[in-house]
Amino acid sequence: MARIITKELAVKIAQKLNATVTKSGAHDLAAVFHDGVLVASFGIRRGSEKDKGHDYIPGEIFVGPGFAKQLGQCPKSHQDWVEAMQEKGIIPKPKKEDGPSTEPAEPDATP
Amino acid sequence: MSEATQRIPRIAFGGLHIPTEPPPGSRICESLGMRAGEAWTWKEEQSPQWEARQEEAFRSLIANVAEFFVEQHTLAQLANRINGLEDLHRSDFGLLHERVKALEEQSQQRSIATCINSLELKGAKVAIPIPVAIHASGDEYIATFFDANISSGGDTPQEAFHNLCDILVAKITLLASLTPEQLGREPARQLAVIREFVAME
């Protein structure tokens, strides 16, 4: 099986998700926050090899390998990931603001 | 018919018209053990033994031709058999190659089950061994603590295991530093799972 997520892509994913990266031992720990709440975190192996495997990252950011790859490359955006997390219930969906109803009023059934 | 062919004297033998002299440049005489130009002269054709020698030569020719065809047939049969065997070997080798490849992949995909018994984290002690599964991913290995969905990779199973220990320490430190309100659904669950295995002060 070929490597799907390389170190280079892992770094790009962390950047795309605006992750806070802290150094820890042999890893950098990328912590992804949304509205001040930690949603996901994953380790990025240190080392100069750009093609080091990081195929475990998709599972840690709750997406499939294809989505993660697209996130690191370009087609998927941070917003796409947030929406995917909201669909999965990992990030709470934003509450709809109360406002004037746009739905037409039901006609009165009684004459 | 060319002029040269017309000049070659011909005799009738059993209803066949056979040239009494081989065409120039042919090797028929040599194959029959005769010297060209000497054995088949018009004079000898006129000799008393001419008919007997002609018949003998013809029989020899027929025998040589028959032998030639038998040899050719045998060679063709042998060639067919060799081709068949080559095809068989090729397909057998193909099957063997596929089976070896499948076995190699199977052996690579075999997971290793182990556990973490200690962590290099001050104020934390492993209360229950943390279960870890290590599996191959291409030419690398991924170690995972499935309950908490925490993974790490390495070039060898040992490296993947040690990297997982390392990332686990980093995650515990991060998760423990945040307030419950700052933890999302999954990180909160991860911390709860970790607390079941690791006793923290």
Domain locations in chain B as residue ranges: 1-108, 110-200
Contact call for A22 and B144, based on CB within 8 A: no
Chain B CB contacts of A56 below 8 Å: 142, 144, 151-153
Chain A CB contacts of B173 below 8 Å: 24
pLDDT at residue B37, as a whole number: 56
Does residue A73 lie in a domain region?
yes
Chain A CB contacts of B107 below 8 Å: none
- B153 vs A: CB within 8 A: yes
Domain that holds residue A18: 7-88
A100 pLDDT exceeds 70? Answer: no
The reply to whether the predicted model has a pTM over 0.80 is no
Cα(B37)–Cα(B35) distance, rounded to whole angstroms? 6
- ipTM above threshold 0.85: no
pLDDT at residue A105, as a whole number: 43
B122: left (phi over 0), alpha (psi -120 to 50) or beta: beta
Contact call for B166 and A43, based on CB within 8 A: yes
Place of tokens 């199973």: B157
Cα(A26)–Cα(A23) distance, rounded to whole angstroms? 8
Which residues lie closer than 8 Å to A102 by C-beta, 6 or more apart?
Answer: none
**Per-residue pLDDT tens over the stretch B38-94:** 545 555 455 667 777 888 889 899 999 999 988 888 899 999 999 988 888 888 888
Minimal Cα distance from B185: which residue of A? A90
Extended beta strands in chain A, E state: 20-24, 27-34, 37-45
pLDDT at residue A26, as a whole number: 76
